[in-house]
């Protein structure tokens, strides 16, 4: 049985943004992403016995210009917790996004297309 590991990070101008530890860090991250196009990068590793295979996926995300009221609203939802880059595109964080280029599911946190590159037989495996 394969073991799958996935992690995601947000990057802008060479800086990496993981999961903010507290609201002030989330505000700083979201303020930095405001009005910018950043990349969401996920890495996947599959281990089967002694074999290890890896792949990555990258999606470009354009953020709207975020004013203080929008930042206050989003931070109050606490949806930023445990989210790379401090936002969840599949939730209220969609209101922060102007558009994306690439795999939406990568931004959510599991790039299924990339996973299927590593485990193409998973679609036909018996449950």
What are the catalytic residues? 7
Give Cβ neighbours of residue 40 (< 8 Å, ≥ 6 apart): 8, 9, 10, 58, 59, 60, 61, 84, 85, 106, 107
Nearest-CA neighbor of 104 among 66, 70, 63, 57? 57
The encoded tokens of residue 78 equal: 């606490």
């Amino acid at each position: 049985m394969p073991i799958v590991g996935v992690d995601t990070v947000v990057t802008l101008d060479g800086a990496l943004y993981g999961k903010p530890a507290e609201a002030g860090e989330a505000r700083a991250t979201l303020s930095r992403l405001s009005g910018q196009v950043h990349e969401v990068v996920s890495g996947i590793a599959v281990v089967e016995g002694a074999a290890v295979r890896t792949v990555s996926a990258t999606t470009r995300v354009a953020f709207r210009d975020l004013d203080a009221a929008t930042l206050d609203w989003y931070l109050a939802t606490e949806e930023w917790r445990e989210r790379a880059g401090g936002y969840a595109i599949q939730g209220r964080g969609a209101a922060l996004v102007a558009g994306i280029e690439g795999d939406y599911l990568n931004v959510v946190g599991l790039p299924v297309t990339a996973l299927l590159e590593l485990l193409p037989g998973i679609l036909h495996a018996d449950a």
